[in-house]
Structure 1
Amino acid sequence: MNICIIGDGLTGLSLAKNLINKKINIHFYHKSKIKNLSSSRTIGISKNNLEFFRKEIHKIPKKSLWGIKKIEIFSEKLEKENLFKFENDEDNLFYMVKNDDLYKSLISEISKNKLFKKTLINENSFYSNSIKKNKYDLIINCDSSNFLTKKFFMKTIDKDYDNLAYTTILKHKKIENNIATQIFTKSGPIAFLPISDSETSIVCSLDTKKKKYNDSEVLDLISKNNPKYQIQKMLKLNRFKLSSSNLRNYYHKNILAFGDLLHRIHPLAGQGFNMTIRDIKILSEIIQNKIDLGMQLDSSILNEFEKETKNKNFIFSSSVDFIYEVFNFDKKIRSKSFNKFLKIVGKNKNLSGYLIKLADRGLNF
């Protein structure tokens, strides 16, 4: 059994490692080596997803993980009064890991495996020679800008948020640092995500439709809304445009789109990579069932995967967009009444419990 995966990133590597664990040959194609991994990008992985990731994909070193026990959400309108609070007395809600740490850990382990072959793409001959001649059982495309994407996977439901996300890492004096904080300001949400007792990741999503921000203004906004940290240093800001998309058709013949190609969402809920991990879990289970029955890996797998995930992914993506629009609506009105209403809603323990399960397991609980 041979599977081709295209796209050098965490999604492709994570899926490749899961399939290699099933003794499947993986031919991994990439455009260029990632020379400068962003040191300020981080990922939040839910408790349930981390259990799957460490068991079925890669045992992330414990030293690379930082547990979050509580999430607090505030509003600038109510002078940073608590709107929502999520916590689990028995365990961490989710775990933070640096993108580059996870990437390096994955590539270091997977490169040693004889079932893994990594090849740099030659644009002139890749699709005519490599794809057609090798006759892969399945082709999984994680690259949003290649020929396959442009030919087969361009029908999407898109939304441009007119937002830019700015990321950095605060270095600060040591504190007990296991509470994630999100503050909804008139400029947009700012998330403070602990990654150690002396470092905190920042994701600042700013509305740029009417105002453009320079780096100094972004850093001032972060400092102004700093909840508790005695800052010693801030790393260089990185930025990326925010949009959402949902792919209408997940596969073509034996080619499957995957990762951000399937669904891209606003980062305010920290669910982007968590959705991808859930997709890996479902695809892994479908493939394992075929292997257990001694069946060939063919496009029927892709059809099953689309039926199992497409509607759930769209509903989940829409729910994240709904959260964005709720706070975007609040940002446009001057009254504090809507914030006060949200504060009352936030005290509902049943709702809080449901949202914790939703963030942990998606729509599969």
Structure 2
Amino acid sequence: MNVCIIGEGLTALSLAKSLINKKINVHYYHKSRNSNFSSNRTIGISKSNFEFFKEKIFQISKNNYWKINRIEIYTDKIDTENLLKFENDKNDLFYIIKNDKLLKSLNSNLIKSKFFKKILLKKDINEESLNKKKYDLIINCDASNFLAKKYFTKKISKNYYNLAYTTILKHKKIENNTATQIFTKQGPIAFLPISNIETSVVYSIDVKNKKFDNSDVIDLINKNNPKYKINKINKLNSFELSSSNLRNYHHKNILAFGDLLHRIHPVAGQGFNMIIRDIKILSEIIESKTELGLHIDALILSDFEKLTRNKNFIFSSGIDFIYEFFNIEKKIKNKNITKILKTIGKNKNFTNLLIKFADRGINF
């Protein structure tokens, strides 16, 4: 079986690794001649997804991830009682990984495989030239290329008018296994530990009515700092935030994948988790077909869409609801909403339900 993957980044590399583990030939088309692994960005992977990733995709080194066993959520002021608290005495809740470390590890592993071939994406490449190579499947992870513009334009979209600012704090050593999220007047800010001396920051700032420069953002990070004695704040990176859900997942033997399928607000740290769940489902479909001795062709793409599209839309809508819910109080200036949620949050069954939702999506 021969598969073409178009795109760059963790989604494309993780999918490629999943396929070559099944001894499927993968041609990986990428734009950059020299891979740039420098990044202040991190990803959070839930416990069940982390276990699947290690078992079925790639064994992540212990030096490349950090365990989170507690999450605290506040509204506006860190010195008040937390709004919600999630913890599990027996298990870690999720794991934080630096993008650049996982990218480097995956890339180094893949290029050693005889089933993997990297191909620089030429400007003159088109659908006809891909079809001449007679790929069984073409998987497109690039939301802006010729395939996306031709076949995958119908989607439900939303502009949050937010900029997500990311950086890494260097700070004095502390016991650092609690993630903190604060819903400030400017937007949600998350402090995500990656070691006892480093913490990743993701700050989604509302820029619809006011612009912020980097110095403003740094001031806000310092203002909302929950506990860290900061030695250094790395350079800020930023990107626009929007959500989208694709209406059709495939065309003939071409499958849309990753952010092209669904893009969500980072408020709950679930973007890459959705992608891992998609890889798991696609992997299970391929395994079931091959075990029956069936040829892998475009029919599996229909199966994939049937099993994922509705679930992905419901999950994406849930993340959007979380973002908008915490915006309500800011818009209507009514503290009763926070009081109600704080009361509900003391119910262990409710918090356990949210933990399962974050861990397994709507499959729990």
What interval of TM-score do these two structures reach, taking the shorter chain for normalisation? over 0.9
Identity of aligned residues (%): 66
Q: Which residue of 2 aligns with 1:59?
A: 59
1:29-69 alpha-carbon deviations (Å, 9 max, x no partner): 11124543342100000010010000100001011010000
Structural mapping, 1:1-365, within 5 Å: 1-33=1-33, 35-76=35-76, 80-129=80-129, 131-365=130-364
Report the CA distance between 1:80 and its aligned residue: 3.5
Cα pair distance change 1:33/1:44, threshold 3 Å: farther
CA contact (8 A) 1:192 1:200 kept: yes
Deviates more, 1:132-141 or 1:336-345: 336-345
Contact residue 289 and residue 296 of structure 2 kept, 8 A:
yes
- Contact 2:78 2:224 survives alignment (8 Å): no
Q: 1 CA distance for matches of 2:354 and 2:33?
A: 39
Query: In the TM superposition, what whole-angstrom CA distance separates every residue of 1:96-121 from its partner, at most 9, and x where no partner exists?
Result: 00000000000000100000011001
Deviations 1:228-283 (A, max 9, x none): 00000000000000000000000000000000011000001000000000000000
C-alpha distance in 1 between matches for 2:53 and 2:293: 25
In structure 2, list runs of 5 or more residues that go unmatched: none
> For the residues of structure 2 that align with 1:335 and 1:283, how far apart are their CA atoms?
45
Contact map agreement 1:77 1:339 (CA 8 A) in 2:
no
TM-score when normalising by structure 2: 0.98
Secondary structure of the residue aligned to 2:362 is coil
Q: Which amino acid aligns with 2:62?
A: K
Return closer, same or farther for 1:258/1:34 CA change in 2, 3 Å cut-off: farther
Which amino acid in the other structure matches residue 212 of structure 2? Y
**Aligned-partner SS, 1:44:** strand
**CA separation of 1:33/1:354 partners in 2, compared to 1, >3 Å: closer, same or farther?**
farther
What RMSD, in angstroms, separates the aligned Cα atoms of the two structures?
Answer: 1.1
Counterpart amino acid of residue 11 in structure 1: T
Tell me, yes or no, if the aligned pair for 2:77 and 2:224 is still in contact at 8 Å. no
Task: Give the distance between the partners of 1:340 and 1:222, measured in 2 at CA.
Answer: 25
Task: State the Cα distance separating 1:289 from its structure 2 match.
Answer: 0.7
Q: Aligned equivalents of 1:137 and 1:343: distance in 2?
A: 52
Give the whole-Å Cα distance in 1 for the aligned partners of 2:331 and 2:280.
Answer: 40
In the TM superposition, what is the alpha-carbon distance from 1:74 to its structure 2 partner?
Answer: 0.3
How does the TM-score come out when normalised to structure 1? 0.98
Which has the larger displacement, 314-323 or 34-43?
34-43
Deviates more, 1:11-20 or 1:31-40: 31-40
Q: Which runs of 5+ in 1 are unaligned?
A: none
Distance in 1 separating the partners of 2:206 and 2:95: 28
1:203–1:34 Cα change, 3 Å: farther
Paired AA for residue 180 in structure 1:
A
The runs of 4+ residues in structure 1 deviating greater than 6 Å are none
Q: Distance in 2 between matches of 1:127 and 1:285?
A: 28
Q: Conserved in 1, the CA contact under 8 Å of 2:7 and 2:142? A: yes
Equivalent pairs counted in the alignment come to 364
- Give the 3-state SS of the residue equivalent to 2:36 in structure 1: coil
How far residue 77 of structure 1 moved from its aligned partner, in angstroms, is 5.8
Structure 2 CA distance for partners of 1:268 and 1:364, relative to 1, 3 Å: same
d(CA) in 1 for partners of 2:39 and 2:256?
A: 28
Q: Distance in 2 between matches of 1:145 and 1:323?
A: 28
CA separation in 1, counterparts of 2:99 and 2:8? 13
Aligned equivalents of 2:52 and 2:19: distance in 1?
14
